[in-house]
Amino acid sequence: MRSRRWPIVIGALLVAAAALLALWPVMNAGWLAMVRAGAVPTQEAPRLHIRSSTPQPLELALRFERPNGAVGHLTFVRESADAPWQPDPRVGTPGVLLGDGYPVFASPRFLAVHGLDARTALRSLTLDIAREQADDVTAIQSWGGEVAIGLWNHGKITRVYAAGPIFDAIHAIEAEARDATDGGASGGASALDACARLEALMAPTRPAPVRIAACAAAIAGCPSLRESAIERLRDACEQGEPVACEVLVARDGTTAQLWPEIDDCWRWVLDLLDAAPPMRQAR
């Protein structure tokens, strides 16, 4: 029996080896295909693309190509080559100018967690915006005509490029307070908090766009200034300032809150000013 069993075992092994050799090319090809498939790099998610152009020497055109394929345009102008960019008066009405979804602004703590400098989160609009890397964009126009272009990263708006007289006035107030406290020698932070700066900008001697924007911002983020801001808007409305009348109607508390994203944007700006005064940007 033993003499018969060994030939049978050896024969079975030979048959198995022959089958393996016959199937080896197919098995090898399948294994190589799996290895190659695993080696293909994962395609990166589409991101925001920003393109800038200057159709005229004092005009800046921005084109935003969003990840979902939507395209938006914004135009800015300035009085001279050294002046700051200002929104084109024809840009539109208050609210979201472009971008889907409700804007969510990153807190200073969130910025710190992701290694982002809160001092550079708020910037004056410059050509640097075209070099930004971001996931998406939301642009908001506020009551004084100012525009905040919010760039999304990590699921929140982590940087804003701002254009409008109110932002330049806020920087000027900061510099004035610093010069008044230490003669500008130390380069330290402003002695005024964000709401105190707005209160100074609400003065009747300020230009109308600055004054009205400061009042609207104060109503959004400075409860102690709300009554004073509404009173100043009422005075401006009676003196024939139509934008002041519009803000008064929308913010005096007698109607439903309009464009809450504007208020959220201003609250974020004020928190940022108090947490980390933004560094001045080159133009």
Per-residue pLDDT reduced to its tens digit, 184-225 = 544 444 468 999 999 999 999 999 989 999 999 999 999 999
Contact residues for 157 (Cβ-Cβ < 8 A; gap 6+): 103, 104, 105, 106, 138, 150, 151, 268
> What is the pLDDT at residue 38?
52
Asked if residue 3 is part of any domain, the answer here is no
Same structural domain, 159 and 180: no
Q: If phi over 0 gives left and psi between -120 and 50 gives alpha, with beta otherwise, what is residue 257?
A: beta
Whether residues 188 and 261 share a domain: the answer is yes
pLDDT at 87 over 80: yes
Asked if residue 101 is part of any domain, the answer here is yes
Looking at the domain assignment, is residue 237 inside a domain? yes
Of 202, 238, 204, the closest CA to residue 217 belongs to: 202
Whole-angstrom distance, CA of residue 46 vs CA of residue 38: 21
Average pLDDT over residues 72-89: 92
Residues 154 and 259 in one domain: no
Are 154 and 178 in the same domain? no
- 142 and 196 together in one domain: no
pLDDT band at 260 (very low <50, low <70, confident <90, very high): confident
Higher pLDDT, 20 or 166: 166
One domain for residues 172 and 84: no
* Rounded Cα distance, 227 and 269, in Å: 21
Count structural domains, the chain.
2
In this structure, the answer to whether residues 125 and 140 fall within a common structural domain is yes
- In this prediction, residue 123 carries a pLDDT of 93
- Both 57 and 85 in one domain: the answer is yes
- Asked if residues 197 and 269 have their Cβ atoms less than 8 Å apart, the reply is no
Asked whether residue 77 is assigned to any structural domain, the reply reads yes
**Domain co-membership, 104 together with 183:** no
The residues, ordered by sequence, that sit 6+ positions from 124 with a Cβ below 8 Å of its Cβ are 84, 85, 161, 162, 163, 167, 168, 171, 280, 281, 283
Distances (CA, A) of 93 to 58, 86, 119, 145: 23, 15, 29, 8
* Residue ending a domain, choose from 114, 136, 165: 165
Give the residue from 131, 165, 199 where a domain finishes: 165
Higher-scoring residue by pLDDT: 269, 277 = 269
Residue 49 clears pLDDT 90, i.e. is over it = yes
Does the residue 35 lie in any domain? Answer: no
Last residue of a domain, one of 105, 138, 165: 165
Q: Regarding beta strands 122-124 and 156-163, do their DSSP bridges make them parallel or antiparallel, or are they unpaired? A: parallel
Q: Considering only residues 167 and 13, tell me which one the structure prediction assigns the higher pLDDT.
A: 167
Q: Check residues 176 and 70 and name the one with the higher pLDDT.
A: 70
Residue 201 lies in a domain: yes
Q: Which domain holds residue 120?
A: 49-165
> Is 70 exceeded by the pLDDT of residue 5?
no
How much of the chain, in percent, has pLDDT values that exceed 90?
A: 54
Q: Give residue 39's pLDDT.
A: 47
- Name, in order, each residue with C-beta under 8 angstroms of 271's C-beta and a sequence gap of 6 or more: 107, 108, 194, 221
**In a domain? residue 26:** no
Tell me, yes or no, whether 111 lies in a domain: yes
What is the pTM for the complete model shown? 0.79
Task: Tell whether 183 and 130 lie within a shared domain.
Answer: no
- Give residue 75's pLDDT: 94
> Domain check: are 159 and 170 in the same one?
no
pLDDT beyond 80 at 276: no
Same domain, 119 and 215: no
Give the number of C-alpha atoms closer than 13 A to the C-alpha of residue 102, restricted to the C-beta side.
5
Note the pLDDT of residue 48: 94
